[in-house]
Chains A and B, each alone.
Chain A
Amino acid sequence: DGGITQSPKYLFRKEGQNVTLSCEQNLNHDAMYWYRQDPGQGLRLIYYSQIVNDFQKGDIAEGYSVSREKKESFPLTVTSAQKNPTAFYLCASSIYPGAGTEAFFGQGTRLTVV
């Protein structure tokens, strides 16, 4: 099955810990995105990548880091510098990073600080 797989579905983080959220796609898509969604809010862009070994900060990159070493993988690390990380994290991908392309989402990871 082709698609975007995010894992884990639920994640609990202790104060001061770094955690990494996985996003894998087997759609051969070039562009990948990470968003954060807080309750009752829209999606805010954290990081995005147009091609392997390249990524750009979105609107709320502070406290997060990413890598894009392989085309199919775009992991997001939530560092201890992110003071309020509890949120729903969504990964998306599109075939190429230009006009006329549609982005599709994984099932999301719900992160809770305990």
Chain B
Amino acid sequence: QKEVEQNSGPLSVPEGAIASLNCTYSDRGSQSFFWYRQYSGKSPELIMSIYSNGDKEDGRFTAQLNKASQYVSLLIRDSQPSDSATYLCAALLSGGYNKLIFGAGTRLAVHP
């Protein structure tokens, strides 16, 4: 079982719609989760971090965490073509060495 799993997509949504990206993780002790956006050929940039159960909102982005289900999601409201990118979910694994592990990423395509 992979430590962090994402649907590779592509996820295609029309402009103005809500894009929903999902991620599951295997380490029940993980406490810190992150969403990064990566444009083609570029390095990942941090969008959201979430550490507690529930929702965390920042502008058009909402991260959701459910530790009981070991599930993290990212909602993008009013999707724009500029949101078209690969979204990477990451988890900081528990234990003494704090490994930061990434999922394979979900490609999002927002079409006008």
In the complex, chain B residues whose CB is within 8 Å of the CB of A59: 101
| Inter-chain contact total with CB atoms closer than 8 Å | 63
15 other contacts beyond A99-B92, A100-B51, with CB at 8 A cut-off? Answer: A31-B98, A41-B105, A42-B6, A43-B88, A45-B99, A50-B98, A56-B99, A94-B100, A97-B98, A102-B34, A103-B46, A105-B43, A105-B44, A105-B45, A106-B43
Interface size class of A (residues with CB under 8 A): 20 to 34
Interface members, chain B 9-55 (any A CB < 8 Å) = 31-32, 34, 42-46, 49, 51
The residues of B with any CB-CB pair to A shorter than 8 Å are 6, 31-32, 34, 42-46, 49, 51, 88, 90, 92, 97-105
Determine if A85 is an interface residue (Cβ-Cβ < 8 Å). no
The residues of A with any CB-CB pair to B shorter than 8 Å are 31, 33, 35, 41-45, 48, 50, 56, 58-59, 90, 92, 94, 97-108
Report yes or no: B101 in contact with A45, Cβ–Cβ below 8 A: yes
